[in-house]
Chain A
């Protein structure tokens, strides 16, 4: 189908300033394929249905708006207390010096460029492959753009129980940096890996992560975004799950003028589970978009989407979440909840929850709510002596708790809760 001329023009205009990074054998082909996909779908425009609530223009324009550097001097590094394999990227470029040795029992770690230079490599069957599958039924142009132009990234292959989590640390040193990272992850049958992500990354950050989880494999993902306020980020996770596989991803977002996190999960084997959750807190000039698409194409799989947002002073939250249950995907258990707590009348939440079901023996539920602090609860707490601001924070954290409970590691959950508590305290007047 031909694209509207305006869209083609805008896409070509953007592409004119870019050239495909040199890759080598299979990498070049994968990039060229992705570029072809991108040309056929075009970059998003304001009137695109999938971008109805989030303006794509600053993500499309050639140069990103500058973003002030941010360093959280008042807090210890996120995941700092965790024994982890640190991998550092500065403005989207791998920093070997700052990183640990890329070696660990149960895991193969390689830089994307090295993997692409090899004639035969497992990553070939994942890189751009899961992304391409995720382009239908809804186009995700920034993901195709990422596959075509990613300048760096990691290839992780878990062959057993990985000794410790891989911690991807993104540093931002250049106020106008435009970073494109692409990670490829393969969890072999029965293997287990945790990936942590944190840090400001760049002024504009396009990140893609493809995760193939083979039969009985388990993948855990916890990431934090923020507190760098001026960044713009568009991220994608594409996951394909085998039989009895487990995929759990949690994102905590604090601040950010523009964040769009897409997560696309496909069940290909029976009896697998996928939990995708997020807690986002925004104040003022904040726009946060969670866009999730879960496809059940196997029997007896369980999916959960739990997204909570706390918004104040004109902040905006968006949730687009879909559960697609294909013909034959019987015994599907699909759950989706998206909720926003608005702390004033200026903030807004747009939710588009969708179920599309072609199997008859399934249990799917979804719910979306927008509400304010419960005055009755607030008074009850105060009547027992809790100060108004403390009572309010307690209720905000209680609201976010259902999302935070999705984090399996209790230590991490506690640490992130404490960070949220401090975020709330800093915003008291």
Chain B
């Protein structure tokens, strides 16, 4: 599904290399997790994948189902099936949550040459999805993320994912700020989407999320590289001992 090869990324503004040769392949149907110390480059990777400005790819490639991702505008990547649940979802005053989601869904459909969803069908769809995530009608009507609590913002990201049904879902610390019950809701939301034709890349600091969303592979990122990959037991090791031993071992 997603193939990242030798990806080197520097900041455009200052001469600073953040990603220093990331290699990662996520196959269709799989869930991969990325863990790693603060500042190791996890969010940067997710932003570069979704096409945010400010980064320069100095080397390497990224493909989604064989197609070059780095060539595409952010909206084209979204239409191609890439989705990033932001670590810090953005507040957009004046744009209603529902209007936003419907505009986004129909824009993607249009880009893919599919029929747009009618207002009535959309309402049905979003109500059903919102109910599963226990997002109330009031939150749907409010401006995007404005005045949402930290946890509500994260649930709103998952709602967007559930409605847009992307192929490649990247979740950047979606668990941070969630209470125990919300974590279950969000995990159920993610698990409900698990499918042979879809893949997940879950960035997290905590083993707890991975109890709910069982990963197939766990990667450790440090200083802009994937330094170790393994099974779910790798997350348990991090939880128990921190990164010290792993980093010492690969140094």
The answer to whether A398 touches B92 (Cβ under 8 A) is yes
B176 to chain A, nearest CB (A): 18
B207 at interface, CB cutoff 8 A: no
* Best-surrounded residue of A382, A384, A390, A398 (most CB of chain B within 10 A): A384
Task: Given the known inter-chain contacts A376-B90, A379-B74, A401-B94, please indicate yes or no for A385 contacting B53, CB distance below 8 A.
Answer: no
* Best-surrounded residue of A379, A383, A387 (most CB of chain B within 10 A): A383
1/0 per residue, CB under 8 A from B, across A365-390: the answer is: 00000000011110111111111101
A402 at interface, CB cutoff 8 A: yes
The answer to whether A385 touches B78 (Cβ under 8 A) is yes
The answer to whether A382 touches B92 (Cβ under 8 A) is no
The answer to whether A387 touches B86 (Cβ under 8 A) is no
The residues of A that contact B91 with a CB separation of less than 8 Å are 377
A395 at interface, CB cutoff 8 A: yes
Bound complex: CA of A394 vs CA of B75, how far in Å?
A: 15
The answer to whether A394 touches B95 (Cβ under 8 A) is yes
* Best-surrounded residue of B83, B84, B89, B107 (most CB of chain A within 10 A): B107
The answer to whether A390 touches B74 (Cβ under 8 A) is no
The residues of B that contact A377 with a CB separation of less than 8 Å are 90-92
Chain B, residue nearest A391 (CB) = B75
Bound complex: CA of A374 vs CA of B89, how far in Å?
A: 14
Q: Which of B86, B90, B95, B104 contacts A385 (CB 8 A)?
A: B104
In the assembled complex, 20 residue pairs joining A and B whose CB atoms fall closer than 8 Å, in A order, are: A374-B92, A379-B90, A381-B95, A381-B104, A382-B51, A382-B75, A382-B78, A383-B52, A383-B77, A384-B78, A384-B164, A385-B79, A385-B105, A385-B164, A386-B75, A388-B75, A390-B103, A395-B94, A398-B92, A398-B143
B187 at interface, CB cutoff 8 A: no
B50 at interface, CB cutoff 8 A: yes
The answer to whether B75 touches A380 (Cβ under 8 A) is no
15 additional contacts (CB under 8 A) given A382-B73, A386-B103: A375-B53, A377-B90, A379-B52, A381-B104, A383-B51, A383-B84, A384-B100, A384-B104, A384-B108, A386-B75, A388-B75, A390-B107, A394-B95, A397-B94, A398-B94
The binding surface of chain A is classed by DSSP as: helix
Q: Which residues of A contact B (CB under 8 A)?
A: 374-377, 379-388, 390-391, 394-395, 397-399, 401-402
Q: Which of A374, A386, A395, A399 contacts B104 (CB 8 A)?
A: A386
Chain A, residue nearest B144 (CB) = A380
B160 at interface, CB cutoff 8 A: yes
Q: Which of B77, B84, B107, B164 contacts A387 (CB 8 A)?
A: B107
A312 to chain B, nearest CB (A): 19
B39 at interface, CB cutoff 8 A: no
Bound complex: CA of A390 vs CA of B84, how far in Å?
A: 20
The residues of A that contact B231 with a CB separation of less than 8 Å are none
Chain A, residue nearest B99 (CB) = A394
1/0 per residue, CB under 8 A from A, across B83-125: the answer is: 1101001111111000011011101100100000000000000
3 closest cross-chain pairs (CB), A and B = A398-B94, A385-B78, A385-B108
Residues 23-59 of B contacting A (Cβ, < 8 Å): 50-53
Chain A, residue nearest B75 (CB) = A382
The residues of A that contact B86 with a CB separation of less than 8 Å are 380
The answer to whether B73 touches A388 (Cβ under 8 A) is yes
Task: Given the known inter-chain contacts A375-B53, A386-B103, please indicate yes or no for A380 contacting B73, CB distance below 8 A.
Answer: no
B162 to chain A, nearest CB (A): 13
The residues of B that contact A394 with a CB separation of less than 8 Å are 95, 100, 103
Chain A, residue nearest B109 (CB) = A385
Chain A, residue nearest B84 (CB) = A383
The residues of B that contact A398 with a CB separation of less than 8 Å are 92-95, 143
Bound complex: CA of A388 vs CA of B104, how far in Å?
A: 11
The residues of B that contact A390 with a CB separation of less than 8 Å are 103, 107
The residues of A that contact B73 with a CB separation of less than 8 Å are 382, 388
The answer to whether A381 touches B92 (Cβ under 8 A) is yes
The answer to whether A383 touches B50 (Cβ under 8 A) is yes
The answer to whether A380 touches B78 (Cβ under 8 A) is no
The residues of A that contact B95 with a CB separation of less than 8 Å are 381, 394-395, 398
The answer to whether B94 touches A399 (Cβ under 8 A) is yes
The residues of A that contact B94 with a CB separation of less than 8 Å are 395, 397-399, 401-402
Task: Given the known inter-chain contacts A385-B79, A395-B95, please indicate yes or no for A380 contacting B90, CB distance below 8 A.
Answer: yes
Chain A, residue nearest B108 (CB) = A385
The residues of B that contact A374 with a CB separation of less than 8 Å are 92
Residues 141-174 of B contacting A (Cβ, < 8 Å): 143-144, 160, 164
Chain B, residue nearest A387 (CB) = B75
The residues of A that contact B53 with a CB separation of less than 8 Å are 375, 379
Chain A, residue nearest B89 (CB) = A380
A413 to chain B, nearest CB (A): 14
Bound complex: CA of A379 vs CA of B51, how far in Å?
A: 9
The residues of A that contact B89 with a CB separation of less than 8 Å are 380
B99 to chain A, nearest CB (A): 8
The residues of A that contact B144 with a CB separation of less than 8 Å are 380
The residues of A that contact B107 with a CB separation of less than 8 Å are 385-387, 390
Chain B, residue nearest A399 (CB) = B94
A64 to chain B, nearest CB (A): 38
The residues of A that contact B83 with a CB separation of less than 8 Å are 383
The residues of A that contact B92 with a CB separation of less than 8 Å are 374, 377, 380-381, 395, 398
* Best-surrounded residue of A375, A385, A397 (most CB of chain B within 10 A): A385
The residues of A that contact B79 with a CB separation of less than 8 Å are 385
The residues of B that contact A387 with a CB separation of less than 8 Å are 75, 107
Chain A, residue nearest B101 (CB) = A384
The residues of B that contact A391 with a CB separation of less than 8 Å are 75
Chain B, residue nearest A400 (CB) = B94
The answer to whether A385 touches B93 (Cβ under 8 A) is no
Bound complex: CA of A394 vs CA of B92, how far in Å?
A: 10
The residues of A that contact B78 with a CB separation of less than 8 Å are 382-385
The answer to whether B50 touches A381 (Cβ under 8 A) is no
The residues of B that contact A379 with a CB separation of less than 8 Å are 52-53, 74, 90
Bound complex: CA of A397 vs CA of B95, how far in Å?
A: 8
Bound complex: CA of A428 vs CA of B51, how far in Å?
A: 23
Chain B, residue nearest A380 (CB) = B90
B185 to chain A, nearest CB (A): 21
Bound complex: CA of A388 vs CA of B75, how far in Å?
A: 8
